[in-house]
A and B are shown apart, each in its own frame.
Chain A
């Protein structure tokens, strides 16, 4: 919890970050109401860690992720990525960050330009950073995510949802980042494809020794991919710990409600009904 030292720098270090948004004024002369999306969040992600951030809509997890990726500025507090304070940097000096930290979004169709060929999409982070985009590197990236090299000549709409997510991952890996930040990367996918993409992410994180920050609303997915998890609720981190510990023995009241409202096959076949899940979600002991 100390200031980052030169020895083991946390990959990502978030300190007392708050973010308030201004709602539109309800009437011309009334003050605009403020919404606190983040209320003092602090967390550290060690290099090589697979860090999950779990929360429901409105918990602030996406805001936190956007701040970590410097897509948005905190109202107060600091974010260090590999020792550099990114909250103080002007936009034009974020190039180094974009090289170290890359993002994969939930909806691959919304984050892939429909008019660009896949090869250009994957090469774009390299081009943007002033590198020539060698065809070999693109082919290598496509191969790494399980696509054939001729995919480079096709357009995003010619691929299925799972394949598009592979393209997003290939693009994120192009500048050889140290940190991969994934925002709900499998939420839009079918279960069988979900398993394929989760396997791919786990393999790549292993092979390339990446630090993974994985944001999801689904604790059971996070449990599969991550070793550590932070549970967010109403703009705060309410519980942090190893994923198995948080899942099997939640301490905070909200985490308990979250865990007990997850439908699972095992529990359903053992006779857990929708009524029981709803009781769990309401915080009644089932």
Chain B
């Protein structure tokens, strides 16, 4: 437990992901504390999934990664670690829940065996039979009805919500310090989503696992997370507690996202608020402030990259012309 003593589970510093001469992600710094639930939000193409994959060491070979990602309980940097070392980290110290459970599960293997396999691979259960009964236990904890029966089922025999519960059971199997969830409920129905989110939050809480929760659904982030990082163009443009960022956004991008996702608020012409333009393709973001070509507040000085304004990396924003601190963005 290197960083564990201080209560920090994940420490990311100067993380850069790029192809050839194009930077895709440039994250200065963020930390996640033990048991903390942190949301990572932004539109498609803003770099949130790349950031998560970089943390997991799952990036495509063609991408260059630099910087530092340290995880509690792991004595080496995750950036640059080879596959053999990462295989010992993934599934044990950090686990991931993806959007599409059908592709995350092995279609030719019974789900109980898949849960048991995770524990056997990392040696957290000594024998096959111990791992099997632990697997049934885990399936029960994620509220799969009749877990003994379900453990013998193949993934295609389960519904989408049940499959995602199995993936969560696999992720929780070795009591990881960090759970990375990339749009885990986007493919699910809303009533199923509610139950899966509940299982995820309570499962992580029971183990003291921290959550890094990626989604474009602000309402889900607000329901699940305590803190939030807003990403755009590969940069963290705003960070803070959910309460602060979602009620008093300072970065115009955050304010735009909030306004666009509020289906109750309309402008004076009775139309939903939108963010002008679209997310540029990778490598086509403007220099200086990445948001300036879509920003309502942009001025000439935005051609210079704005510095971070705020007491520390966990709270603040990067903008020359922020939304006034007192402004309410049209919601109670």
CA distance A218 to B186 in the complex (A): 12
Q: Does A261 contact B (CB under 8 A)?
A: yes
Q: Are A162 and B278 in contact (CB under 8 A)?
A: yes
Interface readout for B187-209 with A: 1 if CB under 8 Å, 0 if not? 00111111101111110000000
Q: Are A274 and B272 in contact (CB under 8 A)?
A: no
Give the interface size class of chain B. 35 or more
Q: Are A191 and B216 in contact (CB under 8 A)?
A: yes
Q: Are B262 and A265 in contact (CB under 8 A)?
A: yes
Q: Are B278 and A191 in contact (CB under 8 A)?
A: no
Q: Does A258 contact B (CB under 8 A)?
A: yes
Q: Does B26 contact A (CB under 8 A)?
A: no
CA distance A274 to B257 in the complex (A): 22
Chain B residues within an 8 Å CB radius of A223:
263
Q: Are B200 and A274 in contact (CB under 8 A)?
A: yes
Chain B residues within an 8 Å CB radius of A195:
260-261, 272-274
Q: Does B284 contact A (CB under 8 A)?
A: no
In the complex, how many angstroms separate the beta carbon of B184 from the nearest chain A beta carbon? 12
A side interface size, CB within 8 A: 43
Query: By CB atoms of chain B within 10 A, which of A202, A220, A224, A274 has the most?
Result: A274
Q: Are A191 and B218 in contact (CB under 8 A)?
A: yes
Q: Does A210 contact B (CB under 8 A)?
A: no
Q: Does B84 contact A (CB under 8 A)?
A: no
Q: Does A268 contact B (CB under 8 A)?
A: yes
Interface readout for B258-289 with A: 1 if CB under 8 Å, 0 if not? 10111110000001111100110000000000
Q: Does B31 contact A (CB under 8 A)?
A: no
Specify the chain A residue showing the minimal Cβ separation from B218.
Answer: A265
Chain B residues within an 8 Å CB radius of A267:
223
Q: Are A269 and B274 in contact (CB under 8 A)?
A: no
CA distance A193 to B201 in the complex (A): 29
Q: Are A217 and B189 in contact (CB under 8 A)?
A: yes
Query: By CB atoms of chain B within 10 A, which of A198, A199, A277 has the most?
Result: A277
Interface readout for A158-198 with B: 1 if CB under 8 Å, 0 if not? 00111100000000000000000000000000111111101
In the complex, how many angstroms separate the beta carbon of B240 from the nearest chain A beta carbon? 13
Q: Are B257 and A266 in contact (CB under 8 A)?
A: no
Q: Are B278 and A277 in contact (CB under 8 A)?
A: no
Q: Are B260 and A192 in contact (CB under 8 A)?
A: yes
Q: Are B198 and A265 in contact (CB under 8 A)?
A: no
Picked from A57, A258, A272, the residue with its CB within 8 Å of the CB of B223 is A272
Report if A190-B43 is in contact (Cβ < 8 Å); known contacts: A265-B246, A269-B247.
yes
Q: Are A264 and B201 in contact (CB under 8 A)?
A: no
Picked from A161, A263, A278, the residue with its CB within 8 Å of the CB of B217 is A263
Q: Are A278 and B195 in contact (CB under 8 A)?
A: yes
Interface readout for B220-231 with A: 1 if CB under 8 Å, 0 if not? 101110000000
Query: By CB atoms of chain B within 10 A, which of A160, A224, A262, A265 has the most?
Result: A265
Q: In the complex, given contacts A263-B223, A266-B331, what are 4 additional A-B residue pairs having Cβ atoms less than 8 angstroms apart?
A: A193-B278, A195-B273, A224-B264, A261-B190
- 11 A-B Cβ contacts within 8 A? A191-B217, A193-B43, A195-B274, A199-B272, A202-B271, A221-B263, A258-B190, A263-B197, A263-B220, A263-B223, A277-B194
Q: Which residues of chain B have a CB within 8 Å of any CB of chain A?
A: 43-44, 160, 189-195, 197-202, 216-220, 222-224, 242-243, 246-247, 256-258, 260-264, 271-275, 278-279, 331-332
